[in-house]
């Protein structure tokens, strides 16, 4: 059986959903192919459940740092119930209802390209009149540590969906997933050991990782930096797991979480039928997320699978642009260059304690890119709003200024409660607002956002 649509989308995560939604809103027909749950990784095994776990942890931690507030305590069973609710109990009825309301067709099953503009799902052939968008996402990467795969490690999936708190948890990897889930499970009662090859949160400003390491240690996590697991063994299924670490020690735990990166979910989607390499990132895309070098320009890649920025909000952003571009081209128009995806202002919030929020370039990235920069630092704890937020507040803020353009090109905050502060910088970076004009954007007193004023004052305005 062959069905024809204007757009065929492979993968019903946030990126795929947004591509289809934007295309349909602009008058096209669209079908989404999904082999697992509609809603994708984010809804069931990443953002939503992890933040559902971490919200109560933050609230208790923040409340405990306020004289005049007593008694706040985590109730692990309640936190897990809350997490189950935010993961919709791993059922996708709500998302399917949304698809229906958005007039997007759904075909369940493993989709595979069989040639240009054609995707097969079991017995059905889906033909795209205009475009196929790959939004299949990424999987956790299990690093090649001897014995690790056999020890049945947790990935981000198990670590966001586990029904019980392990007594002891070993975490391999000091990136966002490792740091966030170490924070959550330690707070929920596990004794966590985190093993990181370098510093924590590599790729962000160094102070952020240092503050997070301090927070994890204060919470009781055994943080080992500059260390690697060289072997893992779990002699008995369900029994304890032992990690051999290259600092000469061993770590015994009940579960081990592999949090060492992602791999593209492209191994089994038929890329070979159109001359692309199965298992590779679809990372050669233009600003409309169209894959370069494909005859006829009908293939797009949005979200994790293009490796531009493995973040739900950036996948959705790309998807809006991609869906709009597909629709524009279907109507014979070429999208304006101003509508192309911009990588200058990618924000990220890490929901550890303290939180980390960053956008744009770090000082090192800006210098490596040959930009003429000035770096401005400020003690976030010196801001009145920070002192009010938490007694003994400790945090730090950095702004990176392009001295040729006189604009902010990067900012990083680390401290309790900073997650909602970063969007102001994202607007400044994406909007290329000159510092002389930012000077007139007055933060309300006494909010923590006053740090943006302090940074400008420290710059010399």
* Stretch binding its own copies (CB under 8 A), from 4-12, 74-82, 204-212, 295-303: 74-82
The alpha carbon dihedral of 345, 350, 356, 361 has a sign of negative
Question: Looking at 3, 35, 63, 199, which residue binds its own copies (CB under 8 A)?
Answer: 63
By CB under 8 A, residue 183 contacts its own copies: no
Q: How many CA atoms lie within 13 A of 162 on its CB side?
A: 22
- Choose between 298 and 393: whose C-beta lies nearer to its own copies: 393
- Choose between 71 and 237: whose C-beta lies nearer to its own copies: 71
By CB under 8 A, residue 68 contacts its own copies: yes
**Is residue 415 a contact partner of residue 381, using CB atoms and an 8 Å limit?**
yes
By CB under 8 A, residue 23 contacts its own copies: no
- Choose between 269 and 438: whose C-beta lies nearer to its own copies: 438
Q: Quickly list DSSP for 209-250.
A: HHHHHHHHHHTT-EEEET--EEEEE-SSTTS-EEEEETTS-E
Q: Which of residues 205-264 bind its own copies (CB under 8 A)?
A: none
Rounded to the nearest 10 degrees, the angle between the axes of helix 14-25 and helix 312-330 is: 30
Rounded to the nearest 10 degrees, the angle between the axes of helix 176-187 and helix 206-218 is: 20
Cβ of residue 61: shortest distance to its own copies, in angstroms? 10
Tokens of 271: 């890329």
By CB under 8 A, residue 170 contacts its own copies: no
Question: Looking at 377, 433, 458, 459, which residue binds its own copies (CB under 8 A)?
Answer: 433
Q: Quickly list DSSP for 322-349.
A: HHHHHHHHHTT-PPPGGGS---TT-EEE
Question: Looking at 141, 219, 364, 427, which residue binds its own copies (CB under 8 A)?
Answer: 427
Q: Which of residues 299-318 bind its own copies (CB under 8 A)?
A: 311-314, 316-317
By CB under 8 A, residue 191 contacts its own copies: no
Q: What is the DSSP letter of 440?
A: T
- Choose between 281 and 317: whose C-beta lies nearer to its own copies: 317
- Choose between 299 and 408: whose C-beta lies nearer to its own copies: 408
List the 168-172 sheet strands across, edge first: 222-225, 191-196, 168-172, 255-258
* Stretch binding its own copies (CB under 8 A), from 31-39, 152-160, 215-223, 442-450: 442-450
Question: Looking at 330, 375, 430, 458, which residue binds its own copies (CB under 8 A)?
Answer: 430
* Stretch binding its own copies (CB under 8 A), from 98-106, 239-247, 395-403, 418-426: 418-426
Q: Which residue has the tokens 């204007």?
A: 6
Burial 56-83 (b: 16+ CB within 10 A, else e): bbbebbbeebeeeeeeeeeebeebbebb
Cβ of residue 230: shortest distance to its own copies, in angstroms? 35
- Choose between 81 and 252: whose C-beta lies nearer to its own copies: 81
CB atoms within 10 A of CB 457: 12
By CB under 8 A, residue 397 contacts its own copies: no
**Is residue 356 a contact partner of residue 200, using CB atoms and an 8 Å limit?**
no
By CB under 8 A, residue 417 contacts its own copies: yes
- Choose between 70 and 238: whose C-beta lies nearer to its own copies: 70
- Choose between 2 and 444: whose C-beta lies nearer to its own copies: 444
How many residues make contact with its own copies (CB under 8 A)? 80
Cβ of residue 153: shortest distance to its own copies, in angstroms? 26
Question: Looking at 11, 303, 415, 443, which residue binds its own copies (CB under 8 A)?
Answer: 443
Cβ of residue 86: shortest distance to its own copies, in angstroms? 7
Task: Give the gyration radius of the chain's Cα atoms.
Answer: 23
**Is residue 361 a contact partner of residue 410, using CB atoms and an 8 Å limit?**
yes
Question: Looking at 217, 391, 403, 405, which residue binds its own copies (CB under 8 A)?
Answer: 391
* Stretch binding its own copies (CB under 8 A), from 2-10, 252-260, 369-377, 426-434: 426-434
By CB under 8 A, residue 452 contacts its own copies: yes
Q: What is the DSSP letter of 310?
A: -
Q: What are phi and psi of 441, to 5 degrees?
A: -90, 95
**Is residue 61 a contact partner of residue 116, using CB atoms and an 8 Å limit?**
no
> How far is the C-alpha of 141 from the C-alpha of 269, rounded, in Å?
18
By CB under 8 A, residue 275 contacts its own copies: no
Q: What are phi and psi of 433, to 5 degrees?
A: -75, 120
Site string for its own copies, 31-60 (x = CB under 8 A): -----------x----xx--xx--xx--xx
> How far is the C-alpha of 248 from the C-alpha of 123, rounded, in Å?
55
Q: Which of residues 347-386 bind its own copies (CB under 8 A)?
A: 347-349, 357, 384
- Choose between 86 and 154: whose C-beta lies nearer to its own copies: 86
- Choose between 250 and 343: whose C-beta lies nearer to its own copies: 343
Q: Which of residues 325-354 bind its own copies (CB under 8 A)?
A: 338, 342, 345-349
CA 199-201-207 angle, to 5 degrees, is 75
**Is residue 199 a contact partner of residue 210, using CB atoms and an 8 Å limit?**
yes
């Amino acid at each position: 059986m062959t069905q024809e649509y204007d757009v065929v989308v492979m993968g019903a995560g946030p990126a795929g959903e947004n591509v289809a939604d934007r295309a349909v809103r602009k008058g096209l027909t669209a079908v989404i192919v999904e082999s697992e749950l509609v809603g994708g990784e984010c809804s069931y095994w990443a953002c939503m459940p992890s933040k559902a776990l971490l919200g109560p942890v933050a609230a208790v931690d923040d409340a405990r740092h306020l004289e005049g507030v007593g008694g706040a305590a985590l109730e692990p069973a309640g936190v897990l119930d809350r997490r189950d609710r935010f993961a919709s109990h791993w059922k996708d009825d709500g998302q399917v209802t949304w698809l229906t309301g958005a007039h997007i067709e759904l075909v369940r099953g493993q989709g595979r390209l069989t040639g240009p503009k054609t995707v097969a799902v079991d017995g059905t052939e889906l033909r795209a009149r205009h475009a196929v968008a790959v939004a299949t996402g990424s999987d956790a990467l299990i690093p090649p540590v001897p014995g690790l795969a056999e020890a049945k490690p947790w990935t981000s999936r198990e670590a966001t969906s586990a029904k019980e708190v392990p007594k002891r948890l070993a975490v391999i990897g000091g990136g966002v997933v490792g740091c966030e889930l170490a924070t959550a499970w330690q707070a929920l009662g596990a004794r966590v050991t985190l093993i990181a090859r370098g510093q924590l949160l590599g790729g962000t400003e160094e102070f952020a990782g240092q503050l997070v390491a301090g927070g994890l240690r204060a919470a009781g996590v055994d943080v080992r930096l500059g260390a690697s697991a060289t072997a893992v063994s779990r002699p008995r299924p369900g029994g304890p797991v032992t990690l051999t670490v290259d600092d000469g020690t061993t770590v015994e735990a009940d579960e081990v979480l592999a949090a060492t990166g992602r791999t593209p979910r492209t191994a089994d989607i038929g890329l070979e039928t159109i001359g692309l390499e199965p298992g590779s990132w679809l990372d050669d895309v233009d600003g409309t997320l169209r894959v370069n070098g494909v005859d006829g320009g009908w293939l797009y890649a949005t979200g994790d699978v293009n490796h531009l920025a493995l973040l739900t909000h950036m996948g959705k952003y790309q998807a809006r642009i991609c869906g709009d571009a597909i629709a524009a081209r279907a109507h014979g128009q070429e999208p304006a260059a101003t509508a192309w995806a911009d990588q200058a202002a990618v924000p990220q919030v890490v929901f550890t304690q303290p939180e980390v929020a960053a956008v744009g370039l770090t000082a090192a990235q800006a210098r490596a890119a040959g930009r003429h920069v000035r770096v401005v630092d400020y003690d976030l704890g010196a801001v009145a709003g920070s002192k009010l937020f938490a007694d003994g507040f400790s945090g730090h803020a950095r702004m990176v200024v392009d001295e040729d353009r006189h604009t902010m090109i990067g900012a990083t905050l680390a401290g309790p409660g900073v997650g909602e502060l970063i969007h102001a910088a994202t607007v400044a970076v994406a909007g290329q607002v000159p510092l002389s004009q930012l000077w007139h954007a007055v933060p309300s007193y006494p909010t923590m956002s006053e740090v943006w004023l302090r940074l400008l004052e420290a710059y010399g305005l």
